[in-house]
Structure 1
Amino acid sequence: MNTQEFNQFLKEISIAPLAVIDTTIPLDKYLPIDISEKNTDLQNFDVSSSNEWEKYIHLYLKKNNKEVAFGGYLEKRNLYDRSTYFKNLSENEKRNIHLGIDLWCDKNTKVLAVLDGEIHSFNFNENYGDYGPTIILKHIINEETFYSLYGHLSLKSIENIKIGDSILQGNIIGLLGDNSVNGDYAPHLHFQIIRNIEQNFGDYPGVSSKENIAFYKNNCPDPNLLLKI
């Protein structure tokens, strides 16, 4: 399939929205959030502090009487400037374009498999600003293979699982971690779709440089084609 065909394929897998976090939180409690360089609110606190981020997200949700803030696909963010993990030798190649959807909510929120599949891999990605505990699922639908990535989980989420474990859509695959394990972020799920995972294991780039964005945009389509938030 070409990119357009694959995107249509994802869109048509389900007419209804597909959940990746606790379904007791209704969709009317979700609220879009912009944490790109365009959001001037981010100039008013230390964006390198996960505690400050958590306060900001909490107040944003409380003010709007919501429980989940979501967004970020292909969003250009200054947030990653705090970590050398996102900087290549050339300043022009720093990675700051987000490739998944983030769902910001409380720690220990249940994380669900978006579709039937199996555990492809998992890992504790410990770099500052990285995913922390991460699970990748492999899906085969209508002979089409692709992957879903769930980042910023709790350590317990990867303790008693093994590669090849069968997973059903809606199964609880983990819980959201806190800033002590999740890369030093406010609690949130990074959810990403990957077409060709190549040799990656328990990890896959979730942020791209502008030089590589054409490749990653094709290989990591908009997760909202499934979520339909």
Structure 2
Amino acid sequence: MTTKAFSQLLRDLGKQSLYVLNPSISKSYYVALDLSKSNKALHTVDVSSSETLERYINSHIKDNGAKVAFGGYLETRNIYQRSTYFKDTTPETERNIHLGLDLWMASETPVFTPLDAEVHSFKNNTNFGDYGPTIILKHTIEAIDFYTLYGHLSLASIENLKVGQTFKKGEQIATLGDSSVNGDYAPHLHFQIIKDMQGFTGDYPGVCSKMDLEFYKGNCFDPELLLRLE
């Protein structure tokens, strides 16, 4: 399926009321959050500290009368500089471009599948700054397979999970983890759409380099096509 056709498939699915967090939270209570390196407000925030960043995000949510902060697809961020897992020797090869959508909310917040799914794989990705507990779901729509990734979950989310296990649209699959297990981040969900898993299991790059951006733009599609939070 071409990139254009796959994007249209996602757009058509997005016409439904799809969600990955509590559906009782109106979209009017979601507020956009800019964590890009171009956001001058972050120049005085120690983004290397999960506690400091969490305070900043919670203040942003409160100041806007919201309940959830969201954003980050294709955002170039400085937050990854704290981890050798993402660093490289040149600006072109350093991984700092975010490939999913982040939804910032408290730990233990329930997470739901937006579509019928089966468990493709799961894993606790324990590198500093990594996903922590991660679930990847496989979806089949009109004979087309694609995948959604859920990162920064609680350990309990993967304890009794089985590959091939099925979930119905809107069924709870997990809860959010805290900084002690989620890669040392403020609690949030990393939600990513992946066309081709490329043989990965329980993991898939959620951050890429400038050099590899064009490839990943063609394999990791904007989650807004499904969720339509804007």
Rounded to whole Å, the distance in 1 between the matches of 2:146 and 2:60 is 34
Give the total of aligned pairs: 229
Structure 2 residue matching 1:216: 3-state secondary structure? helix
CA contact (8 A) 1:133 1:182 kept: yes
CA positional deviation for 1:207: 0.5
Are positions 1:112 and 2:117 aligned together?
A: no
Structure 2 residue matching 1:146: 3-state secondary structure? strand
The worse-fitting range, judged by mean Cα deviation, of 170-179 and 7-16 is 7-16
Name 2:172's counterpart in structure 1. 172
Rounded to whole Å, the distance in 2 between the matches of 1:207 and 1:123 is 17
Structure 2 residue matching 1:84: 3-state secondary structure? coil
Q: One-letter code of the match for 2:75?
A: E
Name 1:22's counterpart in structure 2. 22
CA positional deviation for 1:127: 0.5
Structure 1: 4+ residue segments shifted above 4 A:
none
Q: One-letter code of the match for 1:227?
A: L
Name 2:206's counterpart in structure 1. 206
CA positional deviation for 1:17: 3.4
List aligned pairs for 1:141-156, cutoff 5 A: 141-156=141-156
Taking every aligned residue pair, what percent have the same amino acid on both sides? 54
CA contact (8 A) 2:70 2:103 kept: yes
Rounded to whole Å, the distance in 2 between the matches of 1:2 and 1:95 is 26
Are positions 1:133 and 2:130 aligned together?
A: no
Rounded to whole Å, the distance in 1 between the matches of 2:94 and 2:118 is 33
Name 1:11's counterpart in structure 2. 11
Q: One-letter code of the match for 1:228?
A: R
CA contact (8 A) 1:16 1:228 kept: no
Structure 2 residue matching 1:114: 3-state secondary structure? coil
Name 1:74's counterpart in structure 2. 74
CA positional deviation for 1:21: 0.9
CA positional deviation for 1:92: 3.0
Q: CA RMSD in A?
A: 1.0
TM-score, reference length from structure 2: 0.97
CA contact (8 A) 2:152 2:183 kept: yes
TM-score, reference length from structure 1: 0.98
Greater helix share, structure number? 1
Structure 1 residue matching 2:212: 3-state secondary structure? helix
CA contact (8 A) 2:111 2:174 kept: yes
Name 2:35's counterpart in structure 1. 35
Structure 1 residue matching 2:178: 3-state secondary structure? coil
Name 1:218's counterpart in structure 2. 218
Structure 2 residue matching 1:148: 3-state secondary structure? strand
Output one character per residue of 1:83-125: Cα deviation in whole Å (capped at 9) or x when no partner.
0100235453000110000001111111001210100000000
CA positional deviation for 1:198: 1.6
Name 1:65's counterpart in structure 2. 65
